[in-house]
Structure formats: C-alpha cells, structure tokens
Amino acid sequence: MTDCVLAFDIGGSNLKAGLVDPSGNILKEDRLPLPENRDQALEALIHLAGGLAKQGECIGIGIGAPGVIDHASSSIAADANNLPQLVGARFDELFRVWDVPVKIDNDANNAARAEHLFGAARGKKNVLVVTLGTGIGGGLILNDTLYTGASAYAGEFGHMIVEARGRRCTCGGEGCLEAYAGAWALRLRAESLRKRFPESSLTGFPDGAMDVADMAAAARCGDTLACALMREAGEMLGAALASAANLLNFDAVVIGGGVSAAGDVLFEPMRASFRQRALPKVSQTCTLLEARLGNRSGLVGAAALIYGNTE
C-alpha cells in the first residue's frame, strides 16, 4: 500500500477519508461527523488518517473541501461559510510529520480531476465536468490541465446566465442556470406552480419536503407539472452547455451529482437543447457522458490531486 494516496473529502457535516490506489480504487475508507470546534475537527482528521495508514505508507495526502481554496497556504479561504471551524486551518502543517506532499482543492475541481483521470472522461483533453446538486458546480479541464482562472473562480457553471433579467439566484444575480435547474430552484418552482395543477401528485408533499427524485418519478408517470419542470430544467441545462461548448469546444461534457439520477426525463430535453443550440462542429465533437464515480468522486478526486498531471 506504499504507493497509495491518503484522501480526505471534507463536507458540511462529515469528514470522509480513504486510501486510494494508483488506479483510483478506494481500498479502505472511514468517516466521522465534522466536530463544530476547530481543534476537535483537526484532531478528527488526524485520527482518521492514523486509522487508515501509518507514516511512510502513502505517497501524498489529497484533500477536497467546498468553497474557495487558498493554494498559497493550503487552506480553505474565508468565504467557505459552511465550514467556519476549518477556515484558514493549515492542512500542510497539520500533516507535516507525514513528510509527503499535501494538496487541497475544492470539491468541484476535484470531481473534474477524478472523472478526467479515472472516470468517464479518461483520455479526453478538453472536458467540462458538471455536478448537479442543490447548487450546480463545474470543473474545467483544458488541454489536460485543470483550469482555475485568474482568481480560482473558473468553472462556476451554475452561474452561467441563461436568461438576462431572469429568476433570482442565490449569488444575488438573476437569470443564472442554477435558478432554473438547481435542486433548490426546482423545489421552489414546483411549490409555487402546483396550486395551478391540482391533479399533480406533487401537491401531496409538504412545503420543503419534495426533492428532485420525487419530481423525476412523477415525470416518468406522465405528471404534467413534473414533466414541465424537468423539461424546462433540461432545456436550460442544454442551453448553458451549448454556450460553454461554443466558447471552449469540448471533447466531452460529464454530468454527475445527485440530481443527475433524474435520468432521461432531464437528460433527453438537455441533449436535444444542446444539439439544437451548439454550433454544428462543436456539437459533433462533444460527447455528453454520465459521470462514473458517483459519490466516490470526492475521495478519488482528492487522490487525483496527487496522482494527476492536471496541475
């Protein structure tokens, strides 16, 4: 196991750790709830590490976390507001005694690394990896290299503008893709429209209780409201993908995240919208793929930080 990477996936409520081999397989893994106190959170990371490997048994430590990362100091920058206890913590110093490279990046970038190195986009040079969840994240691989942009904000696919003066987004802007196809937006839209569709099965859910899986299931049964919601979200996704692909001429787009489990009721209108809107040459070159790594992408992507040449 001496050629493995010790990988961490830091989430808003859990710390996951795993030992990942050079082929991207997770050999061992463990998790702990994320303590609210900073010292206890750091201790939990050390404890997880010690349970999976001993010093000298791994070639590097890779870490994924939500939000913006300060690469100069290997830490989570101040605006990762769902992890206040870990903002500014120096992970390189925390693991200094391991005497191996320690790298950290945000989870959307790591998901892109994971799919590029070990998943659906293996062998593709120019790739957009989209994560559909409560929000919509993205990671860009250009010429086999992760592209982060001038201030590490590249890949904010959820905030592509699909409608000037459109619906309000959580970022404060309007008309962002996320305000049409993010899970939060789909639920709000369903709740506001269902009064007009008394026959819809979506009227049976208490406010706040409906998720995209419920809407997708209803759409597969032909529910008019659910079909309309999925169709609109798919069309907007396809339009945003076409814009991004027209700009960057991808070999492939990889779609993952919990909302992608909605399947064809979302993907069919998305594909049609993309093919209709992308320039013919751009559309011919670009393959639309489903992510392969699923919920392993956090740990595998953190390991890809060490294994990859996408720096």
Strand residues in the chain grouped as ranges (E): 4-10, 14-20, 26-33, 58-65, 69-70, 75-76, 102-106, 127-132, 136-142, 145-147, 252-256, 287-290
| Among residues 16, 113, 124, 159, the one that binds Zn ion under rule CB under 5 A | 159
| Burial letters 107-127, b for 16+ CB under 10 A, else e | bbbbbbbbbbbbbbbeebebb
> Given candidates 61, 108, 169, 215, which one binds Zn ion under the rule CB under 5 A?
169
Q: Which of residues 19 and 240 has its CB atom nearest to Zn ion in the complex?
A: 240
Smaller CB distance to Zn ion: residue 113 or 159?
A: 159
User: Binding of Zn ion at residue 160 (CB under 5 A)?
Assistant: no
Q: Which is nearer to Zn ion, 108 or 169 (CB)?
A: 169
Contact at 8 Å (CB) between 257 and 291? yes
CB 165 to Zn ion: min, Å: 13
Query: Near Zn ion by CB under 5 A, which window of 3-11, 13-21, 137-145, 165-173?
Result: 165-173
CB of 173 to Zn ion, least distance (A): 5
CB of 153 to Zn ion, least distance (A): 12
Helix axes 224-248, 183-193, angle to 10 degrees: 150
x/- track of binding to Zn ion for residues 172-201 (CB under 5 A)? -x--x-------------------------
Q: How far is the CB of 175 from Zn ion (least distance, A)?
A: 8
Strand partners, 227: none
CA distance 148 to 179: 23
Min CB(180)–Zn ion separation in Å: 11
DSSP 286: P
Q: Which of 27, 171, 209, 247 binds Zn ion (CB under 5 A)?
A: 171
Quote helix, strand, coil % in the chain, to nearest 5. Answer: 45, 20, 35
Q: How many helices (H) and strands (E) does the chain have?
A: 10, 12
Question: Based on CB atoms, which residue is closest to Zn ion, 63 or 169?
Answer: 169
Can you give the binding site for Zn ion, defined by CB under 5 A?
159, 169, 171, 173, 176
